[in-house]
Amino acid sequence: MRKINAIYIGLICVFSLFFFADQVRAAEDDNNLGYTVTLVQSNTQIDPNKSYFYVKTTPGEAQTLEVRVKSTKKENVHIKIYGTNAITGDGGTIEYSDDKTYFDSTLKEPVTSMIKIANPDITIGNYEEKTVKIQLTPPKEKYDGVKMGAIVFALDQGEKAKSGVTTEFSYRVGLITSGSGDEFNNAQTLNLNSAKASIKRGKKMVLANLQNPEPKVLENLSIVGTMTKKGTTEVVKRKSVENYSMAPNSSFDFEMDWGIANLPSGTYTLKLDASNDYQEWQLSKDFTITNQQAKKMNEESAFKIITPTWIKGSAIFLLVVTVLIVSLTLFRRKKWEKQWKKVRIAKRKKQGKQKQKRKKSNRKEGE
């Protein structure tokens, strides 16, 4: 009985070790940046259940948002703090960027123009906690819908960042501002700005630039793209996606990847059938791929079949050898057939002579 109890106790200890080891590893993973970020809910928060800032603004009236940054290790950690705007990524997801080249023409007075961070660089260490204050000043004139973005708390990697080969590690706190507090995820407008063939990320693609011009989120978007030869129903390319979302006042490229096949020239019609819970859209654009454009794209694309010279040489050599072997085999076969034919003829003659001899001998015996 004691032995059985000892075995049970041993098993419990082993499982406990594994469990606590997993807990320690999880804690280490959560705190691998050396700090944590927690927002302090503002009294202007529209929805207290949101884990990000969703605040109501009054035209021209400033307010202060607070975020607590806490160190999780003794060593000092340097943190850069800055704002970003919401954009729509190529995969139909809401992302964040401070690069203006990604901003849509309908985006006026983005959220980054409304915020001011008193201390954009801080240093924390030895498990201390600091409060970062962000001043939010909306435009003097009332705005429709929402402004969407995020406040980024990025690990400052110093000299490593200058080399341009590092990956940014950061925490991000979402920020949505609204002048009315109305629902912000019910946009009902979708525009097709353009359709064209282009190389993107080294790939040959047909790109349909889609735009959400409203200051609201366009979500749960399903899109079926069909590319046909103009004036016909011949389908050249087709792509369907689901659960796409678009940030307020944003645009993105709906991508139809051509793969390794050569892009054909011609005039085409790109039709997009899109829908969500609120609306349906039937959009189309004609576009032309010239012979020169197709040739240039097929040559410049990084994704194509390139046959090495040695493979081509080997293939030619094997082809020549195969032809020679087949020719030699056919020649020898014809030669053998001639020889066998002569043998069969000689054999038949011999058999004929033997028959004649037997007949003669049979006659003599009969006489």
Tell me what the mean pLDDT of segment 206-232 comes to.
97
Q: Is the pLDDT confidence value at 337 over 80?
A: no
Answer yes or no: are the C-beta atoms of 256 and 225 closer than 8 Å.
Answer: yes
Percent with pLDDT over 90 in the chain? 64
Q: pLDDT tens-digit profile of 93-149?
A: 999 998 888 999 999 999 999 999 999 999 999 999 999 999 999 999 999 999 999
Q: Is the pLDDT confidence value at 17 over 70?
A: no
Q: Is the pLDDT confidence value at 344 over 80?
A: no
Distance CA 359, CA 366 (A): 11
Distance CA 53, CA 177 (A): 8
Categorize the per-residue pLDDT at 18 as very low, low, confident or very high, splitting at 50, 70 and 90. Answer: very low
At residue 16, the pLDDT reads 40
At residue 32, the pLDDT reads 72
Distance CA 179, CA 266 (A): 49
How many Cβ atoms sit within 10 Å of the Cβ of residue 207?
20
Answer yes or no: are the C-beta atoms of 87 and 247 closer than 8 Å.
Answer: yes
At residue 346, the pLDDT reads 72
- Is residue 252 helix, strand or coil? strand
Which residue is it, tokens 């705190």?
Answer: 31
Supply 310's token pair. Answer: 């040695």
At residue 20, the pLDDT reads 37
Candidate CATH numbers 3.40.50.1820, 2.120.10.30, 3.40.640.10, 2.60.40.10; the one for domain 191-300: 2.60.40.10
Instruction: Say if strands 53-56 and 94-97 run parallel, antiparallel, or are unpaired.
Output: unpaired
Answer yes or no: are the C-beta atoms of 150 and 252 closer than 8 Å.
Answer: no
Q: pLDDT tens-digit profile of 53-106?
A: 999 999 999 999 999 999 999 999 999 999 999 999 999 999 999 888 899 999
At residue 159, the pLDDT reads 56
Categorize the per-residue pLDDT at 9 as very low, low, confident or very high, splitting at 50, 70 and 90. Answer: very low
At residue 13, the pLDDT reads 44
Instruction: List 285's β-bridge partners, or say none.
Output: 270
At residue 357, the pLDDT reads 67
Q: Is the pLDDT confidence value at 14 over 50?
A: no
Distance CA 156, CA 366 (A): 126
Q: pLDDT tens-digit profile of 246-296?
A: 999 999 999 999 988 899 999 999 999 999 998 999 999 999 999 999 999
How many Cβ atoms sit within 10 Å of the Cβ of residue 158?
9
Amino acid making up residue 24:
V
Of 290, 273, 291, the C-alpha closest to 282 is 273
At residue 313, the pLDDT reads 64
Categorize the per-residue pLDDT at 150 as very low, low, confident or very high, splitting at 50, 70 and 90. Answer: very high
Tell me what the mean pLDDT of segment 333-344 comes to.
73
Distance CA 354, CA 333 (A): 31
Contacts of 71 (CB under 8 A, 6+ apart): 34, 35, 77, 124, 125, 126, 127, 128, 129
Categorize the per-residue pLDDT at 326 as very low, low, confident or very high, splitting at 50, 70 and 90. Answer: confident
Supply 103's token pair. Answer: 């901003």
Mean pLDDT of the chain: 84
Supply 329's token pair. Answer: 């085999």
| 33-178 fold | Immunoglobulin-like (2.60.40)
Answer yes or no: are the C-beta atoms of 14 and 35 closer than 8 Å.
Answer: no
At residue 114, the pLDDT reads 96
How many Cβ atoms sit within 10 Å of the Cβ of residue 161?
14
Tell me what the mean pLDDT of segment 5-34 comes to.
45
Distance CA 70, CA 31 (A): 10
Which residue is it, tokens 């000043």?
Answer: 137
Categorize the per-residue pLDDT at 160 as very low, low, confident or very high, splitting at 50, 70 and 90. Answer: low
Contacts of 301 (CB under 8 A, 6+ apart): 199, 202, 203, 204
More confident residue, 350 or 188: 188
DSSP string computed for 52-120: SEEEE--TT--EEEEEEEEE-SSS-EEEEEEEEEEEE-TTS-EEEE--GGG--TT--S-GGGTEEES-S
Which residue is it, tokens 């009985």?
Answer: 1
Looking at the chain, list the stretches that DSSP marks H as alpha helix, in order from N- to C-terminal side.
Answer: 2-30, 159-162, 291-300, 309-366
DSSP state of 45: B
